[in-house]
Amino acid sequence: MSFKLSIPLVLSLLASFSAVSAQQCNATSLCPSSAPCCSEFGFCGTGDFCLGGCNPLASNTLTSCMPEPVCQNANLTFSDTSRILSNATYFDGNATKYDWVVNSGTIINSTSGELAMILTEDNGGTRLSSTRYVHYGQITARLKTGRWGGVVTAFITMSDIKDEIDWEFPGDQTTEGQSNFFWQGVVPQKTVGETHGNLSDTFSNYHDYTIDWQQDTLTWLIDGQTVRTLKRSDVTGDDGVSRYPSTPSRVQLSIWPAGINSSGQGTIDWAGGLINWDDPDYKAAGHFYALVESVSVTCADSKSNPSDAQSYVYGKNASAFSPQVTVTNETTVNNGAGSLRALAGANVWTAIGASAVMALGALLV
């Protein structure tokens, strides 16, 4: 289950973008050429709509979205916020300038080099997205979760066509974590999520949560120990379709309010009930929070990609059942609102199957 944004917050984000069409979009209702890019929220537009989260299968053409910045091995820490863009709508696609963008909410950089993601009754939660994508690889987040009913801490990967791999920590269950995955946003009738327990307090103690995502095997680990493994063959149906996450994805970190009245009852129950905004922790600090110490990324394609590889692009024959991704040297930078690029003439090497930053010393409980 991915980070949820409230309708008022989504509308305010849409209003801040450079050009917005009232038209909604999906795989069967594509965007018009005048507003060619289908944003992660399912609205047509230009400019920012064509960057992170732009769905190529719902946009005007497969080449309407900007190319996705290619994966690079990294160990990302948070001693300061110089590599975090605090407002994602100002991101132009240049992943050499920033490692993260803040999609919504508020972050705090603590004096001990931790990143705090903040949830208040008014801000709707905080979400950060990596500026680079991962197309198979190993990602580890070292973090401390929240501990309050209705509040969810999450570390996930999310592709532009909604392939998703999750580590989630709902409510006040501080001795366990939950693993899950989704294929192209399809919610199965029966959940495929699993719970992994016997952890030392996840609020008080840092743990390393790993997503080891390879072409045929997906493994979830805690502190280096495997807790779950999924094979591609496990989710390949009789129709031959592999319902396995297989498209380039951003890394996302978040804290979000599942336990609010606008959520479905099932979501509220899953998250541990409605949030108590009178909780002593909230009263003392003025917010709930989760802490991140580091995120490391080891790209599976780092050795096979050319040294000047810049981007992933969905291929001409990409479809919902067989998304094809190419590694190219196309630029990822969107020079101005509505700036689009054409695939023709691109140098394509490889086809691969497919808010404000608060000051130091802010009060934490």
Tokens of 183: 């294929």
DSSP assignment, residue 27? T
Question: C-alpha distances in angstroms, 124 versus 127, 257, 306?
Answer: 10, 7, 41
Closest CA to 310 of 338, 351, 336, 347: 347
Do 49 and 43 form a contact (C-beta atoms < 8 A)?
A: yes
Task: Identify residue 350 by its one-letter amino acid code.
Answer: T
**What distance in Å separates the CA atoms of residue 78 and residue 71, rounded to the nearest whole number?**
19
3-state secondary structure string, 147-171?
CCCCEEEEEEEEECCCCEEEEEEEC
> 3-class SS at 258?
coil
The Cα–Cα gap between 51 and 67 comes to 8
| 141 strand-pairing partners | 209, 295
| 304: its two tokens | 């096979």
Alpha-carbon distance of 332 to 51, in angstroms, equals 8
Phi, psi of 308 (to 5 degrees): -105, 20
DSSP secondary structure string, 123-138? T--EEEEEEEEESSEE
By annotation, the residues acting in catalysis are 164, 168
Residue partners of 249: CB distance under 8 A and separation at least 6: 133, 134, 135, 157, 158, 159, 163, 164, 165
* 3-state secondary structure (DSSP) of residue 14: helix
Report the alpha-carbon distance of residue 107 to residue 118 in Å, rounded: 6
Helices (DSSP H) in 215-321: which residue ranges?
A: 265-270, 280-285
Length reported for the chain: 365
